[in-house]
Amino acid sequence: MKRIMTRAAYAAGAAGVIGISLLAASCSGATRPQQPVPQAITVVDTQPVALKSAQGSTTASLPNSSPTDLTELYKQANPGVVYVDVSSTAPNGQSGEGTGSGFVIDTRGDIVTNNHVVDGADHIEVRFADGTVAGATVIGQDPYSDLAVIKTDATVDELKPLAMGDSSQLLPGQAVAAIGNPFGLQGTMTTGIVSALGRTLPESASANGPSYSNPDVIQTDAAINPGNSGGPLLNMQGQVIGVNTAIRTGNQTGFGQATNSGIGFAVPVNTVKRVADALIKTGKVSYAYLGLTAQNGSLGSIASALKTNVKNGILVVNVAAGSPADKAGIRGGNNSQVVAANGQRIPTGGDIITAFDGKPVKQFDDLISLLNSYKPGDAVKLTLMRNGSPMDVSVTLGERQAQ
């Protein structure tokens, strides 16, 4: 597998094929090549720009009073949610169009949406809750988090920035609401709960080289469908706590579009704040890079096969040549010496990472999440087991290269 500092190459597969679908509505869907992701999920991209024959700043502050019921929440938040309409022309002359959602984050006209909503678009328009339509341009895109910032030329009177919450304070069971434009039905609100935290999704862009995972994703049962992409997931105070991005489903409409089955995913707002700030300032996001591939999950189920007593940690499978991990002397496995466990063939001899800068690493997702909180050039300490002996290794993080 070609992921470096991402999903492991040897994750156990689950029976059956279930789709993770990105939520931009389009006239026709295009299936991306399958990528190894958690539980053998097949990635299906309903392309937002699908070909068809013949598509001065004032940041929002917390509301003076919290909404007392859902009608008040909707009244407060919906004016800040926009309908995103995109179109494009392919080199062969065919046109394409698609729709998604977004939300206003300041009075300069900056709007957050998903990268897959606007990727490849030649023309973008946003429609506000009162029906006003304005043009928009892309300020910056980040396929790794599947986020983008677009800027509209709407007047200040139309811009109703939404307040940003704190996704680190979320708990499973917390009530949430989603507002967006499923199947083009503008201003639709649905409700549910935070079903789980800490999920991981693959990046939205298809790449020939290494691809990466987006950690700390929120799972929700609030109904989201194609067209909800880029819209806000809100807490009961009307604060954005995530950006609705994908669903896990095997259901489809008669037109082949994926539909909700009770499992949706949203990029957490703390990621949104960091990424949006960088995109507005520089047009890009810099990510720290380590340069290794590791065994998916924890060591518990394969520890005996590896003849190790370490139960919590990740087995390094491969180290990219010339990467920060390689320069620090991190060791990958030996493909000529493998063991069989849980239907997997696992290279042996690789280092087992148990902590990242003093923070425990129990599975690969932990490492991804921790790495994303550091910057290129930061020096970190990896705690690992090598041939049964504990040791610390210092690594200077590199910068992830764009594909």
Domain that holds residue 369: 288-399
3-class SS letters over 161-181: CCCECCHHHCCCCCEEEEEEC
**The domain that contains 296 carries what CATH number?**
2.30.42.10
Round to whole Å and give the CA distance between 232 and 247: 15
Q: What per-residue confidence (pLDDT) applies to 387?
A: 86
Q: What per-residue confidence (pLDDT) applies to 233?
A: 98
Taking phi first (over 0 means left), then psi (-120 to 50 degrees means alpha), and beta for anything else, what does residue 384 get?
A: beta
For residue 102, being part of any structural domain is answered with: yes
Q: Please give the backbone phi and psi of residue 32, each rounded to the nearest 5 degrees, phi first.
A: -75, 155
Q: What per-residue confidence (pLDDT) applies to 22?
A: 52
**What are the catalytic residues?**
116, 146, 229
Name 155's Cβ contacts closer than 8 Å, sequence gap at least 6: none
Q: What per-residue confidence (pLDDT) applies to 392?
A: 95
Q: What per-residue confidence (pLDDT) applies to 12?
A: 24
Token pair listed for 124: 């973008």
Round to whole Å and give the CA distance between 377 and 119: 30
296 and 240 inside one domain:
no
**The domain that contains 109 carries what CATH number?**
2.40.10.120
Residue pair 7/297 in contact (Cβ under 8 Å)? The answer is no
274 and 293 inside one domain:
no
One pLDDT digit (tens) per residue for the chain, 403 residues:
223 332 222 222 222 233 444 555 443 222 222 222 233 222 333 333 332 322 234 444 444 445 558 999 999 999 999 999 999 887 787 788 889 999 999 999 999 999 999 998 999 999 999 999 999 999 999 999 999 999 999 999 999 999 999 999 999 999 999 999 998 999 999 999 999 998 888 765 444 555 677 888 999 999 998 899 999 999 999 999 999 998 876 665 555 566 667 789 999 999 999 999 999 999 999 999 999 988 766 676 666 667 777 778 888 989 999 999 999 999 988 776 777 666 677 777 889 899 999 999 988 888 888 998 899 999 999 999 898 889 999 999 999 876 5
For residue 9, being part of any structural domain is answered with: no
Q: Which residues of 324-346 are buried (b: 16+ CB within 10 A; e: fewer)?
A: bbbebebbbbeeeebeebeebeb
304 and 340 inside one domain:
yes
247 and 370 inside one domain:
no
Q: What per-residue confidence (pLDDT) applies to 181?
A: 94
Q: What per-residue confidence (pLDDT) applies to 69?
A: 87
60 and 25 inside one domain:
yes
265 and 307 inside one domain:
no
Q: DSSP per residue over 225-261, as a string?
A: -TT-TTPEEE-TTS-EEEEEEEEEES-B-TTS-B---
Taking phi first (over 0 means left), then psi (-120 to 50 degrees means alpha), and beta for anything else, what does residue 305 get?
A: alpha
185 and 303 inside one domain:
no
For residue 53, being part of any structural domain is answered with: yes
